[in-house]
Amino acid sequence: MARTVMVIFGGVSTEYLVSLRSAYSIIGGLRTAGYKVIPVGITPDGDWFRHMGPDEAILEDRWQEHVAVEQSGPIRSPRDFVTALCGCLPDCIFPAVHGINCEDGALQGLLTLSGIPYVGCKVLPSAACMDKAHARKLFREARLPQCPYVTVSRRDIARRPQAVVARIAKICGYPCFLKPSNGGSSVGTCKVERESDLLTALEQVSQYDQTVLVEAFVDAREIEVSVIGRERPSTGWIGEIDTSNSAAYYDYQAKYFRDDGARILMPAPLEEPVRRKIRRLAIKAYKTMGCTGLARVDFFLDRQSGAIYLNEINTLPGFTPISIFPKAFAAAGMPMPALVSRLYRLAMQDFDQSRRLEHV
């Protein structure tokens, strides 16, 4: 009998549209691998529906035209909720979602309470990696290399703007990058070239989160390492983002919605000692944060000095046709059907190994 996988897509997130693209690829891979797929979408308003139409409707954001709205039976638990949505109890859940409310531990908490195995990191690493300010504290504790940075709050931006500007100038200088501490896919990020533009940029970015991460600009290559596994994680080929001259940097539009925004170099053209060091740092970062299942670990490689800086960890990386994660494993001999099957098996193993006494 075919194993049943519930694939969750959409979400109350700024990365809703990216999720639809990832879900389409994941669903196709699961079907090819012989799984029975039950697609469940979350609308931008937070409503959950089972999608009953063609997969292409998900890709084109028409999936809400083909949903099941009748659910039977009492809902007394997250497990009942999942069963009512799917019409059965799935063997595993595959979250094909991104961003806030989706990969920051919120959804993972619900899935954990369902008692059903699910793909990806659990609550703690999901939350810790999503919050860039918190992640950087853990990176520092593990002595992982990072570029200079500061964090500022929305409150301080409003009440102590000059002190904030002075602190950023002292630690980061110009140009610098601003990012919402909780966010992904470069949504809300911005590059600031001069002090006169800083306060306006801080106010704009702080709309996405209460805490803004400010980083020193590094003239760097963007190197990304795709990782899967638990106690003994492994990596795919190391990739590089080659941003085109038409894009100021690798922002949300360049990543997903511009044909000329960037290209993926797979494998990244690196000397073997550098490749080994980056892979070693990626595994260390993955383990430091307690990741399981999968993640993408991103680095900056300084063009002048050759210094390596850990940027961030994405616990639910994109699975779109242009995403590095599936490309990295396809290049290593694991195409999409094999990759999603491997992630399914890891989820089942992680679920079995994570069992613990729940009653005294």
Residues 326 and 193 in one domain: no
- Residue 358, pLDDT > 80, answer no
Residues 98 and 33 in one domain: yes
pLDDT of residue 248: 56
pLDDT of residue 14: 86
pLDDT of residue 260: 60
pLDDT tens-digit series, residues 153-174: 999 999 999 999 999 999 999 9
Q: 243 pLDDT band (50/70/90 cuts)?
A: confident
The residue-averaged pLDDT of 1-23 equals: 93
Percent of the chain with pLDDT over 90: 81
Residues 161 and 81 in one domain: no
Residues 168 and 247 in one domain: no
Q: Which two tokens stand for residue 324?
A: 């590095």
Distance from chain centroid for Cα 57: 23
Residues 105 and 243 in one domain: no
Q: In three state form, how does the secondary structure of the chain look? A: CCCEEEEEEECCCCCHHHHHHHHHHHHHHHHHCCCEEEEEEECCCCCEEEECCCHHHHHCCCHHHCEECCCCCCCCCHHHHHHHHHCCCCCEEEECCCCCCCCCCHHHHHHHHHCCCECCCCHHHHHHHHEHHHHHHHHHHCCCCCCCEEEEEHHHHHHCHHHHHHHHHHHCCCCEEEEECECCCCCCCEEECCHHHHHHHHHHHCCCCCEEEEEECCCEEEEEEEEEECCCCEECCCEEEEECCCCCCCCHHHHHCCCCCEEEECCCCCCHHHHHHHHHHHHHHHHHCCCCEEEEEEEEEECCCCCEEEEEEECCCCCCCCCHHHHHHHHCCCCHHHHHHHHHHHHHHHHHHCCCCCCC
pLDDT of residue 342: 97
- The last residue of a domain, from among 216, 235, 264: 216
Residues 317 and 208 in one domain: no
In a domain, 123, yes or no: no
342: left (phi > 0), else alpha (psi -120 to 50), else beta? alpha
The CATH number for 209's domain is: 3.30.1490.20
Tell me what the pLDDT averaged over the chain comes to. 91
In a domain, 12, yes or no: yes
First to last CA, the chain: 36
Residues 201 and 140 in one domain: no
In a domain, 57, yes or no: yes
177: left (phi > 0), else alpha (psi -120 to 50), else beta? beta
In a domain, 184, yes or no: yes
Distance from chain centroid for Cα 156: 28
* Number of domains the chain is built from: 3
- Residue 254, pLDDT > 60, answer no
Residues 277 and 304 in one domain: yes
CA distance 109 to 106: 5
In terms of residues, how long is the chain?
360
Q: In terms of residue numbers, what domain contains 140? A: 129-145+219-352
In a domain, 358, yes or no: no
Percent of the chain with pLDDT over 70: 92
Residues 105 and 139 in one domain: no
CA distance 88 to 4: 9
CA distance 352 to 360: 20
The CATH number for 96's domain is: 3.40.50.20
The residue-averaged pLDDT of 214-239 equals: 95
In a domain, 360, yes or no: no
pLDDT tens-digit series, residues 323-357: 999 999 999 999 999 999 999 999 999 999 887 66
Residues 165 and 260 in one domain: no
The residue-averaged pLDDT of 30-43 equals: 97
In a domain, 314, yes or no: yes
pLDDT tens-digit series, residues 100-119: 888 999 999 999 999 999 99
In a domain, 281, yes or no: yes
pLDDT of residue 10: 96
Residues 133 and 263 in one domain: yes
Task: Kindly report the number of other CB atoms within 10 A of residue 245's CB atom.
Answer: 6
- Residue 244, pLDDT > 90, answer no
Residues 33 and 53 in one domain: yes
